[in-house]
Amino acid sequence: MKLFADTADVEEIRKLNDLGIIDGVTTNPSLIAKEGRKFEEVVQEIAEIVDGPISAEVVSVKAEGMVAEGRELAKLHPNIVVKIPTILEGLKATRILANEGTPVNMTLCFSATQALLCAKAGAAYISPFVGRLDDIHTAGMGLIEEIVTIYSNYDFETEVLVASIRSPLHVLDAAILGADVATCPPKTIYQMMAHPLTDIGLAKFLADWESVPK
């Protein structure tokens, strides 16, 4: 399973990238807004740090505008993936950009029927938001299971990119279900690696080492 960093914080991305475990990055307008910097500048900087797909989202809601924005974003770096909302106009724009060879990540997906149509439009990635579904007491992981099954039934090439991840359990469940990608906030990635028994064990090994004659 590929692991993407779900942040636009360049310093965080640099730290995560140094761990050697990051395959790509996803951003969205809210994450970009938090940085207080120019969109294109941030995206380009991220693309110079991580050698993998970098999702950058359009803000137009009409296909024509999405395509125009997508074309400009794609010029920023060869690894840019244009992120387009899962709406009817988004399907149109995705088909056009996909035919031009620009990979599209369709975002804000909340149902398996949406995911089916996004795959048919040629999306390279579908981003179902598990955390936001959990927030409204609907099982986010149930959606991942449905999409993984449908894509596998029909050999769709669209990758399932699990988004809106809130905890290591989301990542674990996504991996068990065979999702292609999990995009995680930095905090979740650090939580995935933390274990009190590792810390206790390491402290004991180091303490015992002190008694070894040197």
Residue 131 interacting with ligand E4P (CB under 6 A): yes
Q: Which residue is nearest to ligand E4P (CB)?
A: 164
User: Residue 52 has which token pair?
Assistant: 């993998």
Contact call for residues 178 and 144 (beta carbons, < 8 A): no
Which whole-number Å values give the CA distances from 159 to 118, 128, 137, 155, 210, in the listed order?
11, 11, 25, 11, 50
**Residue from 79, 94, 183, 188 in contact with ligand E4P (CB under 6 A):** 183
Cβ density class 4-14: b for 16+ within 10 Å, e for less = bbbbbbbeebe
- Closer residue to ligand E4P in complex, CB, 82/163: 163
Residue partners of 5: CB distance under 8 A and separation at least 6: 12, 13, 16, 17, 22, 24, 25, 26, 50, 183, 184, 186, 189
Enumerate residues 6+ apart whose C-beta is below 8 A from 52.
Answer: 2, 4, 22, 23, 24, 25, 79
Compute the least distance from the CB of residue 210 to ligand E4P, in Å.
44
In the complex with ligand E4P, the residue whose CB is nearer, 102 or 127, is 127
**Minimum distance from residue 50 beta carbon to ligand E4P (Å):** 15
Residues 2-41 that bind ligand E4P (CB under 6 A): 6, 26, 28
Sign (positive or negative) of CA dihedral 75, 151, 108, 17: negative
Q: Which two tokens stand for residue 190?
A: 């650090």
Helices 186-193 and 10-18 pack at an angle, to 10 degrees, of 30
CB of 197 to ligand E4P, least distance (A): 29
Among 23, 132, 178, 186, binds ligand E4P (CB under 6 A): 132
Cα gap 83→90, rounded to integer Å: 10
Q: Which of 54, 79, 112, 129 binds ligand E4P (CB under 6 A)?
A: 129
Written as one letter, the residue type at 56 is A
Site for ligand E4P in 40-69 (CB under 6 A): none
- Rank residues 148 and 184 by Cβ distance to ligand E4P and give the closer one: 184
Choice between 86 and 127, CB closer to ligand E4P: 127
83 counts as catalytic = yes
How far apart are CB 196 and ligand E4P at their closest, in Å? 26
Q: Which is nearer to ligand E4P, 45 or 134 (CB)?
A: 134
Q: Which member of 2, 38, 62, 83 is catalytic?
A: 83
Residues near ligand E4P (CB under 6 A) are: 6, 26, 28, 107, 127, 129, 131-132, 163-164, 183
Catalytic residues: 83
